[in-house]
Structure 1
Amino acid sequence: MTTWLNMTLQDSASPVMEQLIYFHDHALMIMLMIITAVFYTMVSIIQNKQTSRFMLEGQMIETVWTIAPAIILVFIAIPSLRLLYLMDEIHNPVMTLSAVGHQWYWSYEYSDFTKVEFDSYMIQQEDQQVDTFRLLDTDNRIVLPMNSPVRLIVTAADVLHSWTVPSLGVKTDATPGRLNQVSFSINRPGLLYGQCSEICGA
């Protein structure tokens, strides 16, 4: 869900998204090293004039190509597991926001202080201004505090939905009859865009 002239991930607006971007770069660096090693091996084999037609097995090379991928997987798994636990942590939230998915809008409720409920519809194409994003801008926006833990409780009223804001690194399923919760903290002010990241009902 990129905006104009954006070819990479969105700028992070939460500590979790910063860590996700670091992990993305870490995994790509490992992939680049693997691709370089495989390409070098292919070129060196093609250019090599010697043949080994009578070699039936090589204990050393078989050991290396079994252990090396296992070590590489450990270097990917450890930061991945750390991130999974980091995303599931819920510290004492200063506020709770409830989101209910509908076809084709979201209902929000602030209930910590004064109970406030409203629906958030996508702005129709004929009503959009020049500086708005198609299929992203809504008529009512939620407002959340910065540098404070926020808990989001998500459910659906009709079919499966998925509430997501990529800049926050948050995505959670909205299932009818089930409450899912996720927490996040916003570390920069700004207007962040999200939408249902599921083919609703599929």
Structure 2
Amino acid sequence: MNKLFMNLSFKLNESNSMMNMNKLNDKLMMMMIMLLMMVTMMIMMKNKLLNKSTFENQKMETMWTTFPSLIIILMTYLSIPILYMNNELKMNVMSMKVSGNQWFWNYNYMNFKYSFNSYMMLKKKFNFNLIETDNSVILPLNNEVLFILSASDVIHSWTMPSMNFKCDVIPGQINTVSIKSNKIGISFGQCSEVCGINHSFMPIKVETVTMKEFVNWIKKF
């Protein structure tokens, strides 16, 4: 049952931003289901699925204008705080520069003066096909990380669906987004902008570890 639910829903929340989006999605879906059931019951009780009356009805016209407006206001009330929370740049423990190239990613841990390229690995024994990379982005658990994104050639898009992260990487322009990963493990994404012939071979691999493991890893460089 749990497996079926996961197939019909979003991937597990791997960031606070994705958690907020999933909660909003659940609330809106419940509203839509309740409205559908209510309208269906009203149709079946009133006219047995037949439109018996075509006369003008001022009260009904007022209701079907006012009621949807109230629903839209409620949806706005629920979604605007999520929008602002997802775009808020809070206190970041570190900054990372992401550069898009044809056709690989370059990552620069600006606070530690460490950078590396990330290329797709060919499928071997236990590698995931087309999404495995030779170098992973290592992030500390439950710590805000500021991503500074730009490109050296064409427009790319650094996308991590399970973290609710999608940001265009544009030459000559800098975009900034923050991520706070809340689950230990490995996440996969890819470039979601048509950037050339090898567009589908720019995977992204993010590994979330504890702060102690992150410190031990960064000390090696």
Give the TM-score band, short-chain normalised: 0.7 to 0.9
Aligned partner letter, 2:190 = Q
Which blocks of at least 5 consecutive residues in structure 2 are unaligned? 1-5, 200-221
Q: 1:52 aligns to what SS in structure 2?
A: coil
CA distance in 2, matches of 1:49, 1:185: 53
CA distance in 2, matches of 1:199, 1:41: 47
CA contact 2:43–2:49 (8 Å) conserved in 1: no
Aligned residues: 192
CA distance in 2, matches of 1:40, 1:72: 19
**Which residue in 2 is equivalent to 1:26?**
27
CA distance in 1, matches of 2:102, 2:28: 36
Q: 2:139 aligns to what SS in structure 1?
A: coil
TM superposition shift of 1:8: 2.6
CA distance in 1, matches of 2:13, 2:93: 21
CA distance in 1, matches of 2:7, 2:194: 23
1:85-143 Cα distance to aligned partner (Å, 9 max, x none): 01111112111011111222111111102x1111111112xx3333x322221111011
Aligned partner letter, 2:169 = A
Scaled by the length of structure 2, the TM-score of the pair is 0.79
TM superposition shift of 1:78: 1.6
- Identify, as 1 or 2, the structure richer in strand: 2
CA distance in 1, matches of 2:120, 2:39: 48
CA RMSD of aligned residues (A): 2.2
CA distance in 2, matches of 1:187, 1:80: 22
CA distance in 2, matches of 1:172, 1:40: 43
Which blocks of at least 5 consecutive residues in structure 1 are unaligned? none
**Which residue in 2 is equivalent to 1:12?**
13
Aligned partner letter, 1:108 = Y
Bigger relative contact order, structure 1 or 2 (CA pairs below 8 A, ≥6 apart): 1
Aligned pair 1:185/2:218, yes or no? Answer: no
Aligned partner letter, 1:192 = S
Structure 2 counterparts to residues 1-202 of structure 1, below 5 A? 6-44=7-45, 47=48, 51-53=52-54, 55=55, 57-113=56-112, 115-124=113-122, 127-130=123-126, 132-200=127-195
1:135-182 Cα distance to aligned partner (Å, 9 max, x none): 221111011111111100111122111111122211111111100000
TM superposition shift of 1:40: 2.9
Change (3 A) 1:90 1:46: same
Q: 1:144 aligns to what SS in structure 2?
A: strand
TM superposition shift of 1:44: 4.0
